[in-house]
Homo-oligomer: A and B are copies of this chain.
Amino acid sequence: MKVAKFGGSSVASAEQLRKVANIIMDDPDRKAIVVSAPGKRSKEDTKVTDLLIALGEAYQSNQPYDNHLAQVIARFRDITSKLELSDQVLTEIKQDVEMTLTSDYSDELKMDAIKAIGEDSLAKVLSEYLKSLGVEATYLNPKDAGIIVSDEPGNAQLLDESFDHLLRLRDRNEIVVIPGFFGYSKQGRLVTFSRGGSDISGSIVAAGVQADLYENFTDVDSVYCVNPTIVENPKEITSLTYKEMRELSYAGFSVFHDEALIPAFKASIPVCIKNTNNPTGLGTIIVSKKETSENPVVGIASDTGFLSLYVSKYLMNRELGFGRKLLNILEDECISFEHTPSGIDDMSVIIRESQLPKDKEQKVIERIENELDPDMVYIERDLALVMIVGEGMNSTVGIAEKATAAFSKANVNLEMMNQGSSEVSMMFGIKSTGVDAAVKSLYKAFFE
């Protein structure tokens, strides 16, 4: 059994939904379908979820909202008419919107219910369309599917009992179409996940039904092994592990909402990223473990906008708790850090520049000076991190040599290095100005 999730661009128009239906019909194992709300049809278009938020805000602040409502209905009418569905679907959607707006929910819960209309309506449309094509399909409300969540509007957390309910879906004969993005609290109230939450729903359903595969259909063919804005036409990654994906997602790769994958990760469900517009392409598959491949390196990630907070003190390493105290100060100031490469008497804390804006700098430095009495503290900005990623690296002699040689060839000095004993990644800290040259040189070394 496969669970297929279709993202906003995959369900943005009637034309896209025809592709989706073909994909579903193409493989009888695709039995549970999770959908987003219709996304943008072109760069200038507006996502249905954003139209719904505008509608909800206008309604709740007693502003005119007819225009917003009309826009939402128009998007669905455009789809249902082109797919030649009966008027009943559209009438039901209209009634849903009216009922939700006039319900006696609290403001927060009402907003959640309004936002969820996009996914919910699209799931109804898709199941009707599948039926019209002669496919046995049913719209399944998350409440009936058994997706039970915590009572936190806009940030629902899944309750574990959901998995028992979802497992029963395996016994169904027909295809079920489930709207993504929301579940129901124990009190029976609709509550949404955080934004991008359709990925969470897909991952939850895949884990719940113990799927053989969770297919995530989007609008890219696959994950590339390096940022395509730096290297032209880079190689595609056909297979990578969860850990590798996480390391890559860290710097420059943003194909995927990786927090969403937790349920699938915990249940060891393989995840496939595919393109709705090119469904026969191989895509990229994410697995828990994989056979070692020829190239121990699967990808190169890079990102700018980091800084290094450097602290040195003679005999630092004899002072039990020094590192912990330094991290405590940062935590106190709500600054999260990335890595902490160190010497015997110094520690560099790598932090995203957004975490430590210039106006906070003085306070942090003063606290470190007062509380830790160091010999020196300073901040170096405009740093970039470059990561070489691949689980195979840990058993291969010479990867570090190849990588550092690539930096030398690009004439880029290494400010920092960091590699833990997992060896899924090697991190190199360099000056931002060198990042393009370094990444190109590394690509050449590992992929050409």
List residues of A whose CB falls within 8 A of some B CB: 242-243, 246-247, 249-250, 258-259, 262, 265-266, 308, 310, 312, 314-315, 317-318, 320-321, 323-324, 327-328, 331, 334, 336-348, 380, 394-401, 403-405, 407-408, 411-427, 429
Closest residue on chain B to residue A310 by CB atoms: B421
B418:A417 contact, CB within 8 angstroms: yes
A405 touches B408 (CB 8 A): no
Known contacts A314-B246, A339-B342, A405-B405; is-contact A419 B422 (Cβ 8 Å): no
Interface pair B312/A422, CB less than 8 Å apart? yes
Q: How far is the CB of A100 from chain B (nearest CB, A)?
A: 32
Residues of B within 8 A of A249 (CB): 344
| Minimum CB–CB distance for A360 against chain B, Å | 15
Contact A348 B421 (CB under 8 A): yes
A404, B400: Cβ atoms closer than 8 Å? yes
- A320 and B315 contact, CB distance less than 8 A: no
Q: How far is the CA of A323 from the CA of B407 in the complex (A)?
A: 29
Contacts of A380 in B (CB 8 A): 421
Closest residue of B by beta carbon distance from A383? B421
Residue of A308, A394, A414 ringed by the most chain B CB atoms within 10 A? A414
User: A317 to B246, alpha carbons, bound, how many Å?
Assistant: 10
Residue pair B346, A422 in contact (C-beta under 8 Å):
yes
In the assembled complex, the CB of A336 is this many whole angstroms from the nearest CB of chain B, namely 5
- Closest Cβ–Cβ distance, residue A259 to chain B (whole Å): 6
Q: How far is the CA of A421 from the CA of B339 in the complex (A)?
A: 12
> Is there an interface contact between B424 and A346, defined as CB atoms closer than 8 Å?
yes
With CB as the reference atom, state the residue of chain B lying closest to A331. B321
Note all chain B residues with C-beta closer than 8 A to A242.
Answer: 314
Please name all residues of chain B whose beta carbon is closer than 8 Å to the beta carbon of A403 when the two chains form the complex.
Answer: 404
Question: Nearest chain B CB to A296's CB is how many angstroms away?
Answer: 12
Taking a contact as CB atoms under 8 Å apart, the answer to whether A340 and B337 are in contact is no
- CB contacts (< 8 Å) of A429 on chain B: these are 421
Given A404-B404, A418-B419, list of 13 further CB < 8 A pairs?
A243-B312, A259-B315, A259-B318, A308-B420, A317-B338, A320-B331, A320-B336, A324-B327, A343-B424, A346-B422, A395-B413, A400-B407, A415-B421
A347: nearest chain-B partner, CB-CB: B420
Kindly list the 4 A-B residue pairs having the minimum CB-CB distance in the complex, ordered from nearest: A348-B420, A324-B327, A400-B404, A417-B419
Complex Cα spacing A420 to B340, Å: 8
Q: Are B419 and A414 in contact (CB under 8 A)?
A: yes
Question: What is the bound-complex CA distance between A338 and B340, given in angstroms?
Answer: 12
User: Is B317 touching A419 in the complex (CB atoms < 8 A)?
Assistant: no
Chain B residues whose C-beta falls within 8 Å of the C-beta of A426 in the assembled complex = 417
- How far apart are A318's CB and chain B's nearest CB, in angstroms? 7
CB <8 Å contact, B315 and A324: no
B416 touches A419 (CB 8 A): yes
Pick from B250, B321, B328, B397: contact of A411, CB under 8 Å? B397
What are 16 A-to-B residue pairs whose CB atoms are below 8 Å?
A: A242-B314, A246-B315, A262-B314, A266-B314, A308-B421, A320-B331, A323-B340, A339-B342, A342-B418, A343-B425, A348-B421, A397-B411, A400-B407, A401-B401, A401-B404, A417-B426
**Residue among A250, A308, A417 with the highest chain B CB neighbour number at 10 A:** A417
* Residues of B close to A243: CB separation below 8 A: 312, 343, 345
Q: In the bound complex, how far is the Cα of B351 from the Cα of A75, in angstroms?
A: 61
B395, B397, B420: the one contacting A343 at CB < 8 Å is B420
- Give the distance to chain B from A214, nearest Cβ to Cβ, in Å: 16
Which residue on B lies nearest to A327, using beta carbons?
Answer: B324
Name the residue on B nearest A317 (C-beta): B338
Q: How far is the CB of A367 from chain B (nearest CB, A)?
A: 15
Q: Which of B327, B338, B398, B400 contacts A327 (CB 8 A)?
A: B327
Q: For residue A289, give the distance in angstroms from its CB to the closest CB of chain B.
A: 13
Taking CB atoms, residues of chain B closer than 8 Å to A247 are 343-345
- Contacts known (A324-B324, A380-B421, A419-B418); A246 close to B401, Cβ less than 8 A: no
Output the nearest chain B residue to A411 by Cβ-Cβ distance: B397
Q: Which residues of B contact A347 (CB under 8 A)?
A: 420
Q: Which residue of B lies closest to A413 (CB)?
A: B397
Are B420 and A346 in contact (CB-based, < 8 A)? yes
Are B414 and A345 in contact (CB-based, < 8 A)? Answer: no
